[in-house]
Amino acid sequence: MTNQNVVVPDTIGIAIPAVTNSTPLFPYPLPKAASSGFSVRRKFLPHLELGSNASRLNVWVDSMKASSPTHAKASAALAASHSDTGPTWMMRQPSALSMFGEITRASKGKQIVMFLDYDGTLSPIVDDPDRAFMSDAMRDAVRDVARYFPTAIVSGRCLDKVYNFVKLAELCYAGSHGMDIKVPANRPSFMKANAKAVLCQPASKYLPMIGKVYKILLETTKSTPGAKVENNKFCLSVHFRCVNEKRWSDLAEQVKLVLEEYPKLKLTLGRKVLEIRPTIKWDKGKAMEFLLESLGFANCKDVFPVYIGDDRTDEDAFKVLKDRGQGFGILVSKIPKETNASYSLQEPSENNIKQNGLETQD
């Protein structure tokens, strides 16, 4: 675990209530049983090479297209060539709703700890990232879950921004893809006897560089209508959801040229967003492990972490859980994807807690 810029106040001795099967495992409604006929998207590269030749630029653009589940041409072509992928995928990552009984049995007698991505998981994906608001019903559901289980939000957004979206002080927060972690000191429902209040920022030395690149990208991308550069403190996001597809190659070239001057920064791809992060060995999986340790569950045999997310960056956390053999990951997606998650859910906006009969029970 990292010890860079970690502030640890006095330890607080607090017991966590025992887990009961009458409380929901999920902070938002689970989908109805999935049907066949999914469209399929091509797998895209998790890290894009910053080469200068045209073929590598084409890889960028192809990856950007593949990052859009609604890309019509790709969906049609892939669905035609992989018509059996949907049913196969649902066998490998079945609906968490249809497997709810199995999940509750697996968690019986164990301490559940919830980890939740924000965009696309607690809120819908929207054109304007500044308006990715979660519903009041979703916030109430997360609040209810946090009454019973330690709960953390793990997001690519900067910590302050995701906190202002969620507005629940009793939660743990990990912003900037886990590079900005805050565990509250005075939230009794969270803490075990050996838990600590923590502030962890392992990429703090990169702040001046990230600030400089942010200003450069703001100026550079002005020529691309619809492009939006977001400063998430320890990482940057270049959104191209509102960019005409014919301009994607121009945008990719602009970002590529900037990053060639900064080898200590790497590029990853999300859902119609280019993510720029420091090259340190830290991701959402590392953040989840750090949070488990901070909450007092580092060597706990009966802990049951549940991580719910929709993006490529969440795969690091899914893989950690798979390798640990504890808990499981749940991928939020309408379409088949290559994933380390154990179960799947559909987009949160299509679900309803009361319809599924999973509202919190006291």
Handedness of CA 336, 240, 218, 129 (dihedral sign): negative
DSSP string, 15-71: PPPPP-TTS-S-SSPPPPPP-S---------SS-----SHHHHHHHHHHHHHT-TT-
Question: Which residues fall within 8 angstroms of residue 70, CB to CB, at 6 or more apart?
Answer: none
> Which of 62, 84, 117, 323 does the annotation list as catalytic?
117
CA angle 74, 79, 312 (to 5 degrees): 60
Q: Is 300 exposed, middle or buried (0-12, 13-18, 19+ CB in 10 A)?
A: middle
Q: In whole angstroms, what is the distance from residue 86 CA to residue 335 CA?
A: 8
Give the H or E element holding residue 267.
strand 265-270
Nearest to 66 by CA among 338, 358, 357, 287: 338
3-state class (DSSP) for residue 152: strand
Question: Would you call 117 a catalytic residue per the annotation?
Answer: yes
Q: Residues with catalytic annotation?
A: 117
